[in-house]
Amino acid sequence: MKIIIDENIPQARNAFESFGELISLSGREITNEIVHDADVLLVRSITKIDEELLHDSKIKFVATATSGTDHVDIDYLNKNKILFANAAGCNSFSVAEYIITALCKIFNQNYFTFNKKTIGVVGFGNIGSKVVKFCKALGFDVMVNDPPLERKFGPQNFVPLSKILQCNIITFHVPLNLSGNDKTFHLLDEEKLRKIKSGTILINTSRGEVVDNLKLRMRVENNNDLFTVLDVWENEPAIDFELLKKINIGTAHIAGYSLEGKVNGTEIIYKKLCKFLKVTTTWKPVYPSILNPIITLNQKNNFEFLLDEITRQIYDIEYDDKMLREGIGLDKQLQPKHFDTLRKNYRIHREFSNYTIRLNFSDEETKRKLKALRFKVI
């Protein structure tokens, strides 16, 4: 068996080498010529899976080690009897923790408090549901918009997008749908951007095209009245570096790049390939130990400050922002490569559940909130 695999799928060699010949290369280098005599194709989100890539090939199984599938022509795969698998939910905790870390940063820089702030969560899937759970535990007033789920379960737990646009914080967790009743392409367009009130925190970690980047740039250039966090961009990797200059936090589509999030993706597609081939699973992922798994808090303070102190020691979001901004001064021809290189060479960071918080003071409310974020507390 011949397997073509994106080189950025972690622990892939250990997971898949027993199945046959393994050819590992950059996702953007995977072409029809490369896959034509292969049996299995394993990718991440930067490889477009469609007829152009797969025509006249031997491929019978395609998997993406990501939750998103907008890079995959599923209809084409179905028509050609090519089995498809994705890794839905693999990095959901990673993205939810990115949201919390970004909010900590902005709230502490501006002396905001979580209490009684409204957050509008657009999309209540694997990621959005975790964001909702975290934010409720932290004291936010949470509103959810998800039209497909509202049609399925009724309106009692959902609000219209117009109400979301009035929240203090708006965060997007939807798939990219280019058309149809649930179209999300430019879901946040010029008209809706005008309805967002001054001082709102706007976060997009879903797909870049969900937010009209040009109209967003015009809003922040003209008014400079939003706190904006973007991990995803239109036209990746050729992103709008002029927009990056104007926002508060910008990162290179890495919100889901915790070690657990990436390795979960590998494990999910490994199990699905084993099922397809009717073989027993034998491989299990290996996680390195953490150098400093205990974080000590010696002095009681407001919770926003304490949580920012914790998250800084786990994941330095300002470093990721700084690294992406190093592309601003590059020649335009080099900027896309800079974006891709940041993703390819991304450093390891671990999820909250790996850490124990030692409180050297008594505070049951702080302990409860930290446990809700999956920290161990002693």
Q: Which domains does the chain have, with CATH numbers?
A: 2-86 (3.40.50.720), 92-250 (3.40.50.720), 294-377 (3.30.1370.170)
pLDDT average, residue stretch 110-135 = 96
pLDDT average, residue stretch 117-123 = 98
**Residue bearing tokens 């039209």:** 147
pLDDT average, residue stretch 71-88 = 97
**Residue bearing tokens 């960071």:** 349
Tokens of 302: 């407001």
Residue 347 carries which DSSP code?
P
- Residue 321 CA, chain-centre distance (Å), reads 15
- Residue 322 CA, chain-centre distance (Å), reads 19
Q: What is the CA radius of gyration of the chain?
A: 21
Strands (E), the chain: 2-6, 21-25, 40-43, 61-64, 83-85, 118-122, 141-145, 169-172, 201-204, 227-230, 249-250, 294-297, 356-359, 376-377
- pTM, rounded to two decimals: 0.95
Each residue of 144-201: pLDDT tens digit?
999 999 999 999 999 999 999 999 999 999 999 999 999 999 999 999 999 999 999 9
Closest CA to 170 of 89, 221, 244, 106: 106
DSSP string, 211-237: B-HHHHHHHHHHT---EEEES--TTTT
Each residue of 84-117: pLDDT tens digit?
999 999 999 999 999 999 999 999 999 999 988 9
Closest CA to 74 of 172, 187, 209, 177: 177
CA distance 174 to 52: 27
Q: Are 139 and 164 in contact (CB under 8 A)?
A: no
SS3 category, 349: coil
Please report, to the nearest 10 degrees, the dihedral formed by the alpha carbons of residues 134, 135, 136, 141 taken in order.
-170
Each residue of 281-322: pLDDT tens digit?
999 999 999 999 999 999 999 999 999 999 999 999 999 999
Q: Is pLDDT of 333 > 90?
A: yes
Residues labelled catalytic: 207, 236, 253
pLDDT at 115: 87
Q: Is pLDDT of 142 > 90?
A: yes
